Amino acid sequence: MDNFEVVIGLEVHVQLATFSKIFCSCPVDPDAPPNTYICPICCGYPGVLPVLNKKALELAVRVALALNCRINRRIYFERKNYFYPDLPKNYQISQYKLPLGEEGNLPLGERKIRIKRVHLEEDAGKLIHKEKYSLVDFNRCGTPLLEIVSYPDLSSPQEAFRYLNELKMVIQYVGASSCDMEKGILRCDANISLRRREEKKLGVKVELKNMNTFRGVKEALEYEVTRQKRILEEGKEVIQETRLWDDKAKKTFPMRTKEEACDYRYFPEPDLVDFVIDEELIKKEKEFVGELPYLRRERFKKDYSLSEKEVEVLISQKKLADFFEESYKFFPQAKKITNWIIGPFLELVYKLEGGWQNVKISPKKFAQIVDYFSSGKLNNLGAKKVLDLALTTDKDIDEIIEKEGLAQVSLEEELERFIEEVIKDNPKPIKDYKEGKRGALQFLIGQVMRKTKGRANPKVVSSILERRLK
C-alpha cells in the first residue's frame, strides 16, 4: 500500500451453540419456521423475567480463555436501550462497562492480533421486509451472542480475512459455535481507516456492515482501501460514517440514517444478579479449550513430515485433525494416512448426507484400510469401496472384504487362469504388444482386471504378462 498504512479492526458476533436461549428455555434453531421457538420471555411480554442459561456463560468463558483474555471474575449485565421492532423489550441485555473477557489476543503467524473485549449478550429477532409492510420473526431473540472486538491491529484486508478464519477455527475447536457466516451464526462488522506512513494519528474511520461471507469482508475492505486512498490522494478528507457492502455491486454505500445521536442509556440490568466466575469454572473451561489450531499447526509441521497445505487441511477442522492423529496411532505412516484422509475420505464425507455427523468409522478401522492398501491386500478401488461401506457403519473391515470379495488377488497361481484366458481371447493386442506398442499392455491388464472384477493386483498382472509375452 505504498504511501498509506491500512488500519483495520473487526467486531465479530458469534451465536453460541447452546440448546436453549440465553434467558429462557426456548430451543435455538436458525432453521425453524418463523415465530415457532418463542415464549413470553423472549417476546418481552409484560411481567416476564430473564434467567441466565449457565451453558451460555460457560461457552463464553471458554472462548474468552481460548482468546487469552483476562476473565473478570464478577460480571453483571446491563440494558442497552433502543427502540426497534426486532427487539421485543426495546432493550438488549448486554454487557458494557465490565465485559466478561478483556485484553486477549489471537496469534496470526508471527503477529498477535490483540482482542479488546469479549462480552455476552442476547441476539435480536429478524425483520422481513415486504413491499408494503414488514414482518418480525422473534425466533432469534434471546440466542446467546458473543461479541469479540479486536484492536485495530490488522494491516490489510488479507490479514483481516486470515484473522476471521483463524478466529473461526479457534471457536470451532473449543466447540462454542459452528461460526457459519452464511447462516448468520457469525457476523462481522469492520472499522477501517488509512493514514500516511509518516503520520502518527489514526485516520478517519469508516464502519462497514452487511458483509455475509468472509470473502465479502475481504472484498468490502479492499474496496474501501481503494476508495479511501483515492480520496486521500486527491487531498480530500474521508467522512466518518457507516457504509453498507453491496455484494452484487461489489461496492460500499453510505447507510441512510436519520441524523439522530443514539444514547443507549446503559444501566445495570436489575432483573439479574451478579455472576461469579470462580476458579472451578475457569479450570473446567480451560480443559475444554485444549490444543488450539495455531498450536496444533506448529506441532503437525514438526511431528509429521507433511506439506504446509496438507497440515492446513488436516487442522482446518478439529475432528479431522483428531481423526488423523487417532488413525496415525494404528498405522504410523503420516503421508499415507493423510493422502487417504484428504482424498477418498473427505470426498465421501462431503457427498454424505448430513456430512460429518453421520461418519461412524473408527480411526482404527480407517487405519486398517490404509494399511491393507499399502500392503497390497486391497487395491485402490477395493480400498475405496471398503471405506465407502464402513464409513457410516463402522463394520468389521475383514468382514466387508470377505462379503464383497474385495481382497486383492496377488497370488500368481490364482491369476494364471485369468491371464491365460485373456491371452487366448486377444490375439490382436498381443500382436501389437509384441510389435512394440506398449499401450497394448495396459489394455490387457484392464481385461484381466475385468475378469477378476477389479480384485487383481495390477502390478502382479503386469509382471506376469510381461514375462509371458517376452
Which residues contact other proteins (rule: CB under 8 A)? 40, 43-52, 79, 81, 83, 85, 88-91, 136, 258, 263, 265-267, 270-273
Burial of residue 189 (CB within 10 Å: 0-12, 13-18, 19+) is: middle
CB of 266 to other proteins, least distance (A): 8
Residue with cell 502518527: 200
CB of 101 to other proteins, least distance (A): 22
- CA angle, residues 10, 14, 16, in degrees to nearest 5: 155
- CA angle, residues 318, 324, 326, in degrees to nearest 5: 100
CA distance linking residue 322 with residue 315, whole number of Å: 8
Give 120 or 186: the residue with its C-beta nearer to other proteins: 120
Range list of β-strands (E), 109-218: 111-122, 126-129, 134-137, 144-150, 186-196, 206-211
Give 96 or 294: the residue with its C-beta nearer to other proteins: 96
CA distance linking residue 384 with residue 339, whole number of Å: 12
Give 80 or 377: the residue with its C-beta nearer to other proteins: 80
Give 270 or 354: the residue with its C-beta nearer to other proteins: 270
CB of 258 to other proteins, least distance (A): 8
Give 253 or 267: the residue with its C-beta nearer to other proteins: 267
Residue 405 in contact with residue 453, Cβ under 8 Å? yes
CB of 42 to other proteins, least distance (A): 11
CB of 29 to other proteins, least distance (A): 21
Task: Please name which of 295, 318, 293 lies closest in space to residue 166, comparing C-alpha atoms.
Answer: 293
Give 249 or 262: the residue with its C-beta nearer to other proteins: 262
Give 27 or 85: the residue with its C-beta nearer to other proteins: 85
CB of 81 to other proteins, least distance (A): 6
The runs of H, that is alpha helices, within 242-292 are 279-289
CA distance linking residue 54 with residue 23, whole number of Å: 10
Give 51 or 411: the residue with its C-beta nearer to other proteins: 51
Helices (H) and strands (E) in the chain, counts: 16, 16
CB of 256 to other proteins, least distance (A): 14
**Per-residue cell: 70:** 483476562
Q: CA torsion 35→36→41→46, rounded to 10°?
A: 60
CB of 23 to other proteins, least distance (A): 9
Residue 152 in contact with residue 9, Cβ under 8 Å? yes
Give 85 or 446: the residue with its C-beta nearer to other proteins: 85
CB of 91 to other proteins, least distance (A): 6
